[in-house]
Chains A and B, each alone.
Chain A
Amino acid sequence: MAAISSLDLGQRLRKAERRGHLWAYALIAPLFIFVALSFLLPLGTVLLNSVYDPIIPDNLARTVRALGAWNGPRDQAPPEPVYAALAQDLKVAVQEQKAGSIANRLNIEESGLRTIFMRAARRVSSQEDGPWAPFFEAADPAWAQPAIWGTIRNLSSPTHALFFLSALDARRLPDGSVAAQPEDQRIHVTIYLRTLGVAFTVTLMCILLGFPLAYLLAHLRDKTANLLLILVLLPFWTSLLVRTTAWMVVLQKEGVVNSLLQALGLIAEPLPLVFNRFGVVTAMTHILLPFMILPMYSVMRQIPASYVRAARSLGASPTTAFLRVYLPQCVPGVGAGALLVFILALGYYITPALLGGSTDQMISYFVADNMGRSLNWGLASALAAILLAAVLVLYALYDRIAGPGNLKLG
């Protein structure tokens, strides 16, 4: 038998380790592939749809080509060949019943373009061929102006940043420059700030309410703590819709709180506690509180009591001992809990939608609204992408502080 040299052993150990790792990867692979297909790819599609918008290049292909060939300055109306190309495109679009969607897309950029475009589309089948410039001008004088052509040129590339501009309350003018949206259309920045504000308020409330409770639970006997923990875990496991319904019942005009206050004679008229910011913040705090308490509790439980006792025995007052010895050890738990609550609060949709007024809606609502109501999928995707980016940045921060494996679930 050959002697096993130490080098050999090292190599064999590494080989064995590598084989072990390969096995580990093989076990993780099925889930990873599944996550890639059902999670990463859908998210990728959202990102894709926020920049990919081929409706004009696909449906007005000849026009786009003619505009590209002409490539004149933005303050001039194009020559006849471009009008002719547009006429051809329009004839095909009307046949394929695509005129309406093209008109809608243009209208998103500039109000009123839908009517102008559709008017031309309805008439285009009545003329066989040229000259087209007078035809369009007769349909609507706007066709003789450079503005509408500027808008078409803005949309001529299959990928563009117009949705992101819109998500940031800006737009591209027909002359190609970037400007702010008209005053009454500037809502998105307000919504972001509102979302951040609500998330921050909810996080603060959760810390204020959760920290004392976690502290108390961590210092009780295990049996008592477990019993009281049920009062934290039961809401945690109750359906979100049930909890939201419950808050509607509690806060409504004839609800529990108002009836109680009126019975006690504290108020004469019922207070508006729901369908406003108060209702949203209260319900969100209630729902997210367990996410704050559980990490804090698990961290506090592991803080040895001996540290505080040692501080006390060295002469510190209870307050000093708490602030300078106990509190710093809680920071990882508080930080993890706060960050988690903040991230979750950012993405909330159901609770504000059911309990908030029209001025309380957060960014997720506008993503859904643009998907369903105004059917501006590009804008919905851009808003979603911004939300996703914010969440991922915070998640990376959370990963630094706590590590995802440290999510304690009770």
Chain B
Amino acid sequence: MSPSTLPLYTTPVQRMGHWALQIFCGAVLLFLIAPVLVVVPLAFNNEPYFHFPVHEYSLRWFRDLFTNPVWLHAIANSMITAVLATLLATALGTLAAVGLNHNNLPGKRLIMAVLVSPMIVPVVVLAVGSYFFFSKLGIANNLLGIVLVHAVLGMPFVVITVTATLGGFDMNLMRAARGLGASRFLAFRRVMLPIVWPGVLSGALFAFATSFDEVVVVLFLGGPEQTTLPRQMWTGLREQLAPTILSAAFMLILFAICMLLLLEWLRRRSVALRGVVE
């Protein structure tokens, strides 16, 4: 990659263009990050207002978030749903990705397209359909319905990341294991998994984040007992009520930062394990 210092032979116009580009991109980056950061100080605002200036800082909204039974119930539901949906999506998605990794598999493209489609299809359509379908089965007013749909929504991420990881995986290792007498399952467990687990875990993190953030499906499929954190925030936003929403938002931003750090660490482990030169 070329260094960002300008070579000596650039003209003034080119120099201006270079700096203009940098300033423009700086503005875009600001556009991207500023709204997220703006929420942070407001979450600590002692007064119940959504606007600056902040006169006094306090933790009262955090106290409300973590003691109010309504919010605690929502957080608990979110955690349960996300964990179960992630387990389901990761298990099924990893298996499928391993299967799809086969060379020259007929229909691979079509299968991939179908498996990735939940990411593309508008959530409202799926939410409405799930509402109709699960109502008929009698599991609509239940966390189970939500878990199933969240797993479907998170699974494409698992399939994509694991497929990408397997792309850099040397299949000869598997052939060597099979040649030495290992069964398919043993080879998978003792040879493939220890190398690709960062990719699997990354996919699992994506699926977890998807489920944790999802609100439209919960709006349709969930009853008052199945309120999740985003659903509670949605209700609060529509009526513009307590700034507890902002403290919940802050916690979610922290969560996003942790996810990012974790994903970066996993990426490095994955690169190291697979011996890929990037």
| Chain A residues at the B interface, C-beta cutoff of 8 Å | 17, 20-21, 23-28, 30-32, 34-35, 37-39, 41-46, 49, 209-210, 212-213, 215-216, 218-222, 224-226, 228, 230-235, 237-250, 252, 254-256, 259, 286, 289-290, 305, 318, 343-344, 346-350, 354, 364, 367-368, 371, 377, 380-381, 384, 387-388, 391-392, 395, 398-399, 403-405, 407-410
State the Cβ distance, A244 to closest chain B Cβ, in Å: 7
**CB closest chain-A residue, reference B160:** A407
Q: How many residues of B contact A (CB 8 A)?
A: 97
> Quick check: B24 and A249 within 8 Å, CB to CB?
no
**CB closest chain-B residue, reference A47:** B129
Contacts of B126 in A (CB 8 A): 39, 42-43
Is B132 an interface position by the 8 A CB rule? yes
28 residue pairs A–B, Cβ–Cβ below 8 Å: A21-B102, A25-B99, A28-B96, A30-B96, A34-B151, A35-B115, A45-B129, A210-B28, A213-B29, A216-B25, A218-B1, A219-B4, A220-B1, A221-B4, A230-B260, A235-B36, A237-B259, A241-B230, A241-B233, A241-B249, A242-B252, A242-B253, A244-B237, A247-B35, A249-B39, A286-B31, A347-B124, A384-B128
> Quick check: A239 and B249 within 8 Å, CB to CB?
yes
> Quick check: A250 and B35 within 8 Å, CB to CB?
yes
Per-residue A-contact encoding for B126-151, CB less than 8 Å = 1, 0 else: 10111111101000000000001101
Contacts of A23 in B (CB 8 A): 99, 102, 184
> Quick check: B51 and A254 within 8 Å, CB to CB?
yes
Contacts of B32 in A (CB 8 A): 231-232, 235, 286, 289-290
Contacts of A240 in B (CB 8 A): 213, 215, 230
> Quick check: A249 and B50 within 8 Å, CB to CB?
yes
Q: Is the interface of B mostly helix, strand, loop or mixed?
A: helix
Is B12 an interface position by the 8 A CB rule? no
| Chain B residues at the A interface, C-beta cutoff of 8 Å | 1-4, 14, 21-22, 24-25, 28-29, 31-36, 38-39, 42, 50-52, 88, 92-93, 95-96, 98-102, 104-106, 109, 111-126, 128-134, 136, 148-149, 151-152, 155, 157, 159-161, 163-164, 184, 206, 209, 212-213, 215-216, 219-220, 230, 233-234, 237-238, 245-246, 249, 252-253, 256-257, 259-260, 263-264
Among candidates A30, A45, A344, A408, residue contacting B133 with C-beta atoms closer than 8 Å: A45
In whole angstroms, what is the CA distance A384 to B220 when docked?
Answer: 14
**Can you add 12 more A-B contacts, CB < 8 Å, to A45-B132, A289-B28, A410-B263?**
A24-B102, A212-B24, A234-B33, A237-B259, A237-B260, A238-B256, A240-B213, A241-B249, A354-B237, A387-B122, A395-B120, A405-B164
Contacts of A407 in B (CB 8 A): 116, 119, 160
> Quick check: A241 and B234 within 8 Å, CB to CB?
yes
In whole angstroms, what is the CA distance A384 to B122 when docked?
Answer: 9
In whole angstroms, what is the CA distance A405 to B159 when docked?
Answer: 9
State the Cβ distance, A17 to closest chain B Cβ, in Å: 8
Q: Which 9 pairs show the lowest CB-CB distances between chains A and B?
A: A347-B122, A27-B99, A42-B129, A246-B35, A404-B116, A31-B96, A24-B102, A237-B256, A31-B92
State the Cβ distance, A10 to closest chain B Cβ, in Å: 15
Among candidates A219, A247, A384, residue contacting B125 with C-beta atoms closer than 8 Å: A384
Contacts of B116 in A (CB 8 A): 404-405, 407
> Quick check: B95 and A31 within 8 Å, CB to CB?
yes
State the Cβ distance, A89 to closest chain B Cβ, in Å: 26
